[in-house]
A = this chain, B = another copy of it.
Amino acid sequence: MPDPSLDVLAIGNAIVDVIARTDDEFLDAERLIKGTMRLIDAAEAERLYGRMPPGVEASGGSAANTVAGLASLGLRTGFVGQVADDQLGEVFGHDIRALGVDFRTPPRNGEVPTARCLILVTPDAQRTMNTFLGASQFLPPHALDEAQIEAAAILYLEGYLWDPEQPRAAMEKAIAIARRAGRKVALTLSDPFCVDRHRDGFLGLIERSAIDILFANEIEIKSLAQQEDLEAAVAAVAMRVPLLVVTRSEEGALAVRGSERADVPAEPVDQVVDTTGAGDQFAAGFLAGQTQGRSLEQSLRMGAIAAAEVIAHYGPRPEADLKALMATSLARA
């Protein structure tokens, strides 16, 4: 295989976020569980939107946010995801291409609109997400560009994509292509409910050694391992994947690679405004560190720095130049 021309190619939902500030009373009235993601249909999306405060629209999607962070860090990236041939699809495509990301998936024609995620941000900076998958759930396996996958050092997969049938098949196909080409495969578990829904699927991937790098937060890793105790969960999963990364919000993060382990604290933040995208940017920082051949600890620190940047403002993608930020922040330590 030739040298990779992309550092990371991600496959994920192509979503435009609609971000609104709200309060706990609104979440209670709507019976929403704070901090989680739920899938909603078109009718519920229309109903909830009609009740929401004014919003701001910004390109989102978990893996797409990670790719945006990687691009800001100077890595060569690509993205695969399905938008519709509509205004929000144009917004998504513009925003990701403007970052220099290689995004080739053709927009889908038809009645089904581009995915949107109604994100309710409470004063405690927590985000509660209501995703209408729209066109995103119809990413067909044939939309994959085989050469693009073969050309990427790391294939990065979003756990959320396991929900709808066609993207799941696309992910399976992409894994097979990457494996054949001798590339690495990373997976993020995305959300505790997503792990609940697809525990067997994810464990199956791990069992057949399809995953080289697994990203999870504390709740997700416990759910995957069905272990109440964090260390027991980490131990159980770490013996099954070559590299495990676990984020723990304000408790920091850890990584285990064989017998090697690193722990880092969270990066200090003046004021946490909106935690949307924290995990996505952590993954970006960590993968950038690994791509640059840095140690586990340094890679974790890069993840923590990228996550700290994104939670200090509204919106799921970096506003600062992460490359410059990384240079100053890493030097300071």
Q: Give the interface of A toward B (CB within 8 A).
A: 18, 21, 49-50, 52-59, 68, 86-88, 91, 94-96, 98-99, 113, 315, 317, 319
Q: Kindly identify which residue among B52, B54, B58, B86 contacts A56, using a CB–CB cutoff of 8 Å.
A: B58
Asked if B57 and A94 sit within 8 Å, CB to CB, the answer is no
Assembly CA distance A98 to B68 (angstroms): 31
Known: A56-B57, A57-B57, A317-B54. A87 touches B99 (CB 8 A): no
Min Cβ gap A274→B in Å is 12
A88: chain B residues within 8 A (beta carbon): 87
Min Cβ gap A280→B in Å is 15
A58: chain B residues within 8 A (beta carbon): 56-57
18 A/B residue pairs, CB under 8 Å, sorted by A:
A18-B91, A50-B94, A52-B98, A53-B98, A54-B95, A54-B96, A54-B98, A54-B99, A54-B317, A55-B95, A56-B56, A56-B57, A57-B57, A57-B91, A86-B86, A86-B87, A87-B87, A87-B88
Asked if B59 and A54 sit within 8 Å, CB to CB, the answer is yes
| A94 closest partner in B (C-beta) | B49
| A84 closest partner in B (C-beta) | B87
A59: chain B residues within 8 A (beta carbon): 54
Min Cβ gap A49→B in Å is 6
A87: chain B residues within 8 A (beta carbon): 86-88, 113
Give the most central of A50, A58, A319: most B CB within 10 Å.
A58
- A-B pairs with the 3 shortest C-beta distances? A57-B57, A54-B95, A87-B87
Asked if A56 and B315 sit within 8 Å, CB to CB, the answer is yes
Asked if A94 and B317 sit within 8 Å, CB to CB, the answer is no
Min Cβ gap A87→B in Å is 4
Give the most central of A49, A54, A59, A88: most B CB within 10 Å.
A54
A21: chain B residues within 8 A (beta carbon): 319
Known: A86-B87, A87-B88, A113-B87. A54 touches B315 (CB 8 A): no
Give the most central of A52, A53, A59, A91: most B CB within 10 Å.
A91
Min Cβ gap A200→B in Å is 37
| A319 closest partner in B (C-beta) | B21
Min Cβ gap A170→B in Å is 25
Min Cβ gap A284→B in Å is 15
Q: Kindly identify which residue among B55, B86, B95 contacts A94, using a CB–CB cutoff of 8 Å.
A: B55
A315: chain B residues within 8 A (beta carbon): 56
| A95 closest partner in B (C-beta) | B54
A91: chain B residues within 8 A (beta carbon): 18, 55, 57
Min Cβ gap A83→B in Å is 12
A49: chain B residues within 8 A (beta carbon): 94
Min Cβ gap A266→B in Å is 25
Min Cβ gap A195→B in Å is 30
| A18 closest partner in B (C-beta) | B91
Min Cβ gap A99→B in Å is 6
A52: chain B residues within 8 A (beta carbon): 94, 98
A98: chain B residues within 8 A (beta carbon): 52-54
| A315 closest partner in B (C-beta) | B56
Min Cβ gap A232→B in Å is 42
A319: chain B residues within 8 A (beta carbon): 21
